[in-house]
Structure formats: C-alpha cells, structure tokens
Structure 1
Amino acid sequence: MSTLAASLSPPVAAPRARPRAIAVWLYAVAALILLMVAVGGITRLTESGLSITEWKPVSGAIPPLNAADWQAEFTKYQATPEYREINAGMSLSDFKFIYFWEWAHRLLGRLIGLAFAFPLLWFAVRGQIPAGYGPRLVALLALGGAQGAVGWWMVASGLVDRTDVSHYRLAAHLCLALFILGGLVWTARDLSALARDPAAKPSRLKPLPLLALGVLAVQIMFGAFTAGLNAGLVTHEWPLMNGRVVPQAAWSDALDDPFAIHFIHRWWAFAAFAAMMLLARAAKRAGDRRASIAIHVAVGIQILLGIATVMSGVRFEPALTHQIVGALLVAAAAAGAHAAGRRA
C-alpha cells in the first residue's frame, strides 16, 4: 500500500492537480455515505440485518433470481436463532421484504467502494492529485474496505447464539462509517482551500475542537448501544424514566444494561450540545459562519428528535430521522473543526 500511496502523491506539486474537482468528488461520496446511513437505519428499524446469512463480496451483489434461489436463501435464514425464536412462521413474502433492505444496504456499500476507487485511480493516473494527498485518499479507501469487513463481523455476531447483533459491533460499524464521513468532509475542505489558494496548508485539529468531537463520538457510541439493545423502548417518558430521574438499572454492568444505556445517552446529549456550541463558536470566530449555523441547527434538531423518538415509542419516522440528522451533525462538526483548525 505504501508503494501505491507514493505513486498517488508526487514529491512536488503536480502542475495538473485538480483540487476543486477532487473536492467535489469527495463531497459526492460523502452524500452517498449519508444515504448509506439512512438505508442502514431502515435495515435496523425493520430488523432486516440478519436476513442474509453469508458474506459474498462479489457474487452477493446479485439477488435471488428465481423461486428456487429464494427458497434456498429462506432456508438459510430459517436456521438462525432470530427466525426460530422471533420470526417463526414468517412467510416467504415477508422474508423477501427484509432481505431486500439488507441486500440494498450491502449493494450500496459496494457502489460506494466503486464510486471511490475508480475516480481515485483516474485522478492518480492523470497526475491530478495534489502533492501530499495521495496517502490520505488511499487511507480513506482502506477504511471503506474495512467497513465492509466490520459490517459482516457485526452481522455474524447475530447468526449463531443470539437473536440480534452485538451492540458493541453495531457501534463499531456506525462509528467507523461516521469517521469516514468526517474524513471525507475534512479532506474535501482542505482541497477546496487549496483550490482557492495554492499555498494553503491542510487544517489541523486544535485542542478544543478535538475535545468537542470526542464528546460527540461518545454520544454516537451510546446511541448505537441504545439501538443495539433496544434501549429506546425501556420508557416512553421524558424527562423522567418510568417516573424516576435515575432509573433502576444494573449499574455495575452499565454497558450491557438497557436502562443504564438509555439514561447515559439521554443526558450525555446535553454534554454533546454544550460541546457543539463551543465548536460552533470557534468556527464562527475562524470566519466560517455557515459551519457554525449548520452545527447549531443540526444539534438542536437532533436533541428534539431524540426526545420525539423516545416519547413516540421509537416510531419509524422519528427514529430514522434521528439517525440521519446525527450523520449530518457529524458532517457539520467536521466542517466546524476544520474551520477552527490551525494551519501547519
């Protein structure tokens, strides 16, 4: 990989470098990842994620094409604990519905990989990648490949001894996706700055934005735990939880207890809110008012959606929108941290 990275990053500024075009491409890939997060949310909320019991990176792109193929896939699913303990008696028609969403989720992942790999190769062959950016683009490609493996690692956790996936692995899958999203936004903004000023240097994280992003990352992790443990269903009340400020929970085993996870996610949200306000202020001081506004809007809507999701009993619409806006908040936070970053 080091050889490939070196070939993608000339030792001197490439005269044909096209930072603006590459930035536009990266923003387009980021938009695809936002779509991926949405489809992933639908897959989770419809409990479709365990419907495909094998990982076939290439041939798996083709869905069942005839009755025999569908029956074969259904038979494999019927051997899983989820079918035996939760969905026993499911019809083939119902199976096709959940299969579609998991297949669409995986297919979109493959398409995103192609949408990144082929343009990267095109820009590299034509010598249009600015000096120093090749290794970073290769790293983003590698992270995308790793995301596919992490996704299967997550699914595999729910195929043998349990009826759902590990909430730890779900969190790893979501956090990696959002890390890639943030990396795409950050790199695109670096390249946009380079397009405006050929002497522009990449932005670097300052301590305050780094802290703010860390606080947000913790909230996202607990959000994934909440989803994986169905912890949003333990109460429909807000701000109390079943009539209590602090719920009865197995605090000694807090990371596996739905009540504890829900409580932490509910109230850490306000730590994340405060961190995002500080980040928005830093972005505004750095001259990026749009990033500041985006952070304010996204974090405000996100908290309201979280409350609505709980009080609705985790209805599909607010729950899905909550996940999508969470991804938009990550993109806005990455933009704000970039704006506030020092130039090396």
Structure 2
Amino acid sequence: MRVELLRPEARLLIVGGLSASAALALCLIDPAAALTGWLGAAVAFAAIPAGALCLMAMMRLIPGAWGESLRLTCEAGTLLALPALALFLPVMLGVRAIYPWMAHRPETAFQAFWLDPWFYALRTLLWFLMLWGAARAIRARRRTRAVAAATLVAFPLLGSLVAVDWLMSLDLHLASSAFGLQCLILSVTLAFAALLLFRIGAGARPYRLGVLGALLLTLLLLWAYIQFLTFFILWSPGLPDGAYWYGRRAGGWDVAEWAFGLLGGLPLLLLLLAKVRKSPRLLARLCIAVLAGKLIEFAWLALPGQGPVGLIGFALASLGLGSGAAAGLSIALRRRVCARRPT
C-alpha cells in the first residue's frame, strides 16, 4: 500500500538524515566515542517498537478503554522494528571499537562463543525479528491471544538479554541481575510517553484520556521502584564492582542524574492529580518531560568515559533518530488507518 509523504514528514526525514550523518561523521575523530553515542540513541529508538509490542500484547489479553485509544498508534509503533534493526548496523560493524571485552582474550570456550562479534550480531538480529514477527501476527489477528501470551513471556527474558549485550557489557566490572529489568521498564516508559504524545497531537482527543494518564503514572512508579532496587542491590552492600560502576557516573554525570530524576519524579507527582491526567495539554507536556528524562538516562547508562565526542554524537544521533521516529510514526499510522478502511 502506497502512502505519500507529507511536507512535515519530509522535513523531519531531511533533518533526521543530516543529523544522523553528522553523528556518524564523528567516527573520523573518535570512533569508539562516536559509535557509543550512536548506540545510546539507537537503543532509545529501538525502545519504541519494543514498548509498542509489549503494550499491544497487553491490549489483547487485558481489554479496556486504554487499549481502544492507543491500538492503532501502538500498531504503527511496531512498524519501526525493521528500521530500528537497520540503525544497529553501525553498532554491529563497529562492535570492536565500542565494547571493551573485545580487547580481552576469552578465558573459557563459552566466553569465546558468546562474545564472538558474529554471535552478538545474530542475537541482535533475532531480537528485532522476534519483535517484527510477533507484531505482524498480532496486527493480522492471527492467533492473537496465544501470540500475545508468548510475547509477554519472551519479552522480559530476551529483552533482558539484549540489554546486557547492548549496555551492561559496556563496563567489564558490572554484573547485575536487575539491569535488564531496569532497561526494560525504561524502554516501555519511553515508548508509552512517545506514543501517547503522538496520539494526543494526531487529532481528536483520545477516549478516556484519564486512563492513559493513570497508566503513565503506573509506569513511572515502576520505573522509580526498579531504579531504587538496582541502586540498592549494587551500592548498599558496598560491592566493589557496583561501587565502581556508580563511581564512574560521579562528577559531571551527577547533573544528568538530577535531570532524569526530576524529569521522571515531577511528572509522577503531578499525575497524582486527576485534573492533570485528564488535560491533553498538560499530559502532552509531561510526556515531553518524560521523553527528555529517559533520553538523558540512556546517555547516563552508555556514555560515561566517552568524553565530549560521545556526548555530541549522542545528541546528534538522538536528534536524527528522534526526527526519523516522528516521521516514521506518522507514515506508519496513516498506513494502519488506510488498512482498516473498508475498500
């Protein structure tokens, strides 16, 4: 089905292409820092189709007003799975520059197998193919309840695995059983905020907006709990590896911690007010704040030690991929609307 580009979408794609090209051009200066910055932005982009699939699977098993309001928007979000895979090509090609474990000789046969760059790329490929295949089956209404149930079982297991591959393995000292869950709730919260913001700006006021605001509040509560749980597990026992990981985020990164804490905590408190949850204007502003906070948090996870090039690369890549995500969601949503219309 052919969908014509609208002028705002074309402009977003141009801005996105130029910004992404500038981010990759920084590889000429410092490949490791530039590609790590790209990785952080690519993981944030990949959160949209992953979170959209999780939400869409929940809609099939937990029907309600919230699902009817966001169904088409979530279906559009899942269509970004293959573009997200394409954005990981620079990461898979530059894996030797990004990850410190590539410079260490494996100590066991399992390490030699698991840490092979080709197997890393295969695991990444399988994750996105799972997202694409499950979302396609649910959109096509093929055994949706069975597929949705299997998706919600596989999602935390496989999602935790790729979170370890993509982000936790950036630091050889870190070993945390809660890290994957931390990244998953971060990704789903970012995705929900992006999809809700897009739905509010797409046209008519969503049905039962207060329910959607309450769901955003629930996700922020889960995010705050998991953040505290991870900190408690790593820091409070005084384990040297956990202390080292948090110690790398001291200094200038303290500002980032305050930023994403406030950009998540203040919306959480404001969403306790029913008036805020039911206001499209206020809810849209809170979604923007949540999105900004989650992007900063992804930078906080990925970029310590990468210097100015990593930060600039992340900022340019985030602008480029964010513009591409906005254009892609708009195009995908019109495709889903057209597919639903009777012919």
Bin of the TM-score, shorter chain as denominator length: 0.3 to 0.5
> TM (normalized to structure 2)?
0.44
Q: Which has the higher helix share?
A: 2
Instruction: Flag the structure with more relative contact order, 1 or 2, with Cα contacts below 8 A and sequence separation at least 6.
Output: 2
> TM (normalized to structure 1)?
0.44
